[in-house]
């Protein structure tokens, strides 16, 4: 079974600064997808960024980028130029690319990000 | 484009009762997923429906069940409610044939069992 671990229950950052959230995972599969989701206090989960295991290039979406280290099974999220609206719970998630558990997302425990003005 | 909708927003039940939660996917999405977000337990996968069929099930007892209707909306039923069923229940939808099969989430239903 796959597992996802987020070792930082809470993180804080000053507005306009950069913060990195950590995520490690365990799988025996070679093809899979990784995601970072954001859950603001309003509760609606929003996809921040995604990465396919076969793509070596790290994904980037505006101020959000990932550092994907497949051999180390690490998938960290970097938020640059942090904004007050970035404050939320961030979840790292894993999904197999195929097989019977294809549709299932496995989530980490989450990291609460606080942004200080 | 309307997002995933869930009803009700809040639901209060007593132990032993049954709860029914509803989800409407984004138009064009055929897959619906249910997740439980309980305090201290994180987000746990419950069920996956696609084209009216149950495709996968998480590690939950049989009193958690559901179905998907011809219009792709879905119901989650929880029978014989227990106190530990109190949680936020999230529904997500996707188009499973796409590469990333990105799941779009609804706002959730907060179930409280007294």
Asked if A36 contacts A43 with a C-beta cutoff of 8 angstroms, the reply is: no
**Interchain CB distance below 8 Å, A104 and B56:** yes
Phi-psi category of A89—alpha, beta or left, where left has phi over 0 and alpha has psi -120 to 50? beta
**Interchain CB distance below 8 Å, B103 and A50:** no
pLDDT-based confidence at residue A30 (cuts at 50, 70, 90): confident
Token representation of residue A12? 């804080």
**A50, A100, A103: residue with CB nearest B100:** A50
Is the bond preceding B9 in cis, omega lying within 30 degrees of 0?
A: no
Alpha carbon A18 to its chain centroid, in Å, reads: 15
Q: Does A102 touch chain B (CB under 8 A)?
A: yes
Nearest CA in chain B to A51: B100
**Interchain CB distance below 8 Å, B45 and A104:** yes
A66 pLDDT more than 90: yes
Token representation of residue A87? 């404050």
Q: How far is B56 from chain A (nearest CA, A)?
A: 6
Q: Does A112 touch chain B (CB under 8 A)?
A: no
Asked if A112 contacts A10 with a C-beta cutoff of 8 angstroms, the reply is: yes
pLDDT digits (tens), chain B, 114 positions = 689 999 999 999 999 999 999 999 999 999 999 999 998 778 999 999 999 999 999 999 999 999 999 999 999 999 999 999 999 999 999 987 776 778 999 999 999 999
Q: Does A30 touch chain B (CB under 8 A)?
A: no
> Per-residue pLDDT tens for A71-83?
999 999 999 999 9
A55 pLDDT more than 90: no
């Amino acid at each position: 079974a796959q597992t996802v671990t987020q070792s930082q229950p809470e993180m804080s950052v000053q507005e306009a600064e950069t913060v990195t959230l950590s995520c490690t995972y365990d799988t025996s599969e070679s093809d899979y997808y990784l995601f970072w989701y954001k859950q603001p206090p309003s509760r609606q989960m929003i996809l921040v960024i995604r990465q396919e295991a076969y793509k070596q290039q790290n994904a980037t979406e505006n101020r959000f980028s990932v550092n994907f280290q497949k051999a180390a099974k690490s998938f960290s999220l970097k938020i640059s130029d942090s904004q007050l609206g970035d404050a939320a719970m961030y979840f790292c998630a894993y999904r197999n690319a195929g097989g019977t558990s294809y549709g299932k997302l496995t989530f980490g425990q989450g990291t609460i990000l606080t942004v200080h003005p | 484009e309307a997002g995933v909708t869930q009803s009700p927003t809040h639901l209060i039940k007593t132990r032993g009762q049954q709860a029914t939660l509803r989800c409407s996917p984004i138009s064009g999405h055929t897959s619906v997923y249910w997740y439980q977000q309980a305090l201290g337990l994180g987000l746990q996968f419950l069920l996956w429906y696609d084209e009216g069929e149950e495709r996968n099930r998480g590690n939950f007892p049989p009193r958690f069940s559901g179905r998907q209707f011809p219009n792709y909306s879905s119901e989650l039923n929880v029978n014989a409610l227990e106190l530990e069923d109190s949680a936020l229940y999230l529904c997500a939808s996707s188009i499973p044939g796409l590469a990333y099969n990105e799941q779009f989430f609804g706002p959730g239903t907060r179930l409280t069992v007294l």
